[in-house]
Every structure is written in C-alpha cells, then in structure tokens.
Amino acid sequence: MARYRKLGKTSSQRKALLRNQVTALLHKGKIVTTEARAKEVRKIAEGLIALAVKERDNYETVKVTAKVARKDKDGKRVKEVVNGKKVTVYDEVEKEIKKDKPSRLHARRQMLKVLYPVKEVPAAGAGRKRNTKMADIPAKLFDEIGPKYANRNGGYTRIVKIGQRKGDGAMEVLLELV
C-alpha cells in the first residue's frame, strides 16, 4: 500500500505543488483545493506546526549595537560632505534581537526546506516594486501560530467540504487552520 497520494503528477511536480499549498496555507490561514490534495497538505502543515509548537520558546534575547543611517523628515538618508565627497551619516543604536538556540535553528532550517519565500505587496502600492517585502513564514510559525496551539496535541487544521467542482466534478474543500 502506498504511503502517500501521487495526485497524478511526477515527483518533482507533486513536491512543488505541496510546498506551494503548504506555504499558502501558513501565510493566508486557509486555502481551497481538492480533497486528496488537502489531505496531503494537512500532513506536511501539521508537522511544521508541531515543530513550531515544540521550539516556540527556545531562544535568547541579545543586545547588539548596530549602525543605522540617519534619516530626515522625508525618510531620505542624511548626507554630509567629507573631503569633497558626500557620505551617509550613521548613528549607533542598541537593539534587542532573538538569537535561536541550536535546536530552534535546526527547526527553522527544516521549515525552510519545505516553505517557499513569499513576497508581500501592499494593497495601496500594488504593482510597485519599492513597497514589496519578504514575509518570514518560519518567524510567523514560531511567534504567532506556535503559541496559539501550545496547549493542543495535534489537529491544527480543519477540512470543510464545499462541494463538487464544476469542471471535473472533483470534491473541493476548504483547508484552514483551526
């Protein structure tokens, strides 16, 4: 008996499809897909969430000093003339950062093996490259999703049947985080 569904795709296509759907589920919170795909996505997503729950508090905060460019009221960098050249002015700032312990770092890298990078484009500046930024899905797993399910033993996702798809009659479902 097979250990997983083949979904009518080659192994590379299947892996890409499942990675894409798991990334979308964790980024958006819910997706609409077929029942067979949802059952496969559920396995992978619940494994990642379980990893996030286990490692959610496994870090230490460290104070570091960083050089940050000074900015004017318009948000542009302040330049100063030194020896006939324009040079950006930097200020030293103390920041607190989270430093992962080894097991959490390993968990983050395991997540990054499955998840695709996600670009967020704000609605106001849609289509503008300047306002896009990369979403950190592993950080979202550790900081938001992990604590949310801390006292729950599995069962992090829910499959709700919507009905049959018009084109081919496949059963469509809503896969969402509980």
pLDDT digits (tens, 9 = 90+) for 52-85: 999 999 999 999 999 999 999 888 899 999 899 9
129: pLDDT strictly greater than 90:
no
- Same-domain pairing of 113 and 40: yes
Residue 2 has pLDDT above 80, yes or no: no
93 shares its domain with 156: no
- On whether residue 157 sits in a domain, the answer given is yes
For residue 6, tell me if it sits in a domain: no
Domain end point (choices 38, 67, 100): 100
Same domain assignment for residues 80 and 126 = no
Do 142 and 170 lie in one domain? The reply is yes
- Domain-embedded: residue 2: no
- Would residue 1 count as lying in a domain? no
- Pairwise pLDDT comparison (135 vs 121), residue with the higher score: 135
In this structure, are 36 and 73 located in the same domain? no
pLDDT at 39 over 80: yes
Does residue 172 sit in the same domain as residue 120?
yes
Write down the pLDDT at residue 151: 95
- For the chain, the average pLDDT equals 93
Question: Residue 132's CB: how many other CB atoms inside 10 A?
Answer: 13
- Residue 152 sits in a domain whose CATH number is 3.90.1030.10
Residue with the larger pLDDT of the pair 70 and 128: 70
In order, the DSSP letters of the chain are --SS--TTS-HHHHHHHHHHHHHHHHHHSEEEEEHHHHHHHHHHHHHHHHHHHHHTT-EEEEEEEEEEE-B-TTSPBPEEEETTEEEE-EEEEEEEEEEE-HHHHHHHHHHHHHPPPEEE--STTTT-STT-EEE-HHHHIIIIIHHHTTT--S--EEEEEEEE-TTT-PEEEEEEE-
> Parallel, antiparallel, or unpaired: how do β-strands 30-34 and 171-177 relate?
antiparallel
If asked whether residues 83 and 121 sit together in one domain, one would say: no
Residue 120 sits in the same domain as residue 155: yes
Pairwise pLDDT comparison (27 vs 75), residue with the higher score: 27
Q: Over 80: is that where the pLDDT of 46 sits?
A: yes
Q: What is the pLDDT of residue 62?
A: 96
In a domain, 3, yes or no: no
Q: What angle do CA 124, 127, 129 make, to 5 degrees?
A: 100
Q: What is the pLDDT confidence band of residue 6, given thresholds at 50, 70 and 90?
A: very high
What's residue 124's pLDDT? Answer: 74
> Are 34 and 46 found together in one domain?
yes
Answer yes or no: is pLDDT of 134 > 80: yes
Q: Based on the domain organization, do 134 and 108 belong to the same domain?
A: yes
Q: Which domain holds residue 19?
A: 11-57+102-177
Same domain, 167 and 112: yes
pLDDT at 130: 72
Q: Phi, psi (5° rounding) for residue 28?
A: -90, -30
Sort 176 into a burial class: Cβ within 10 Å, 0-12 / 13-18 / 19+: middle
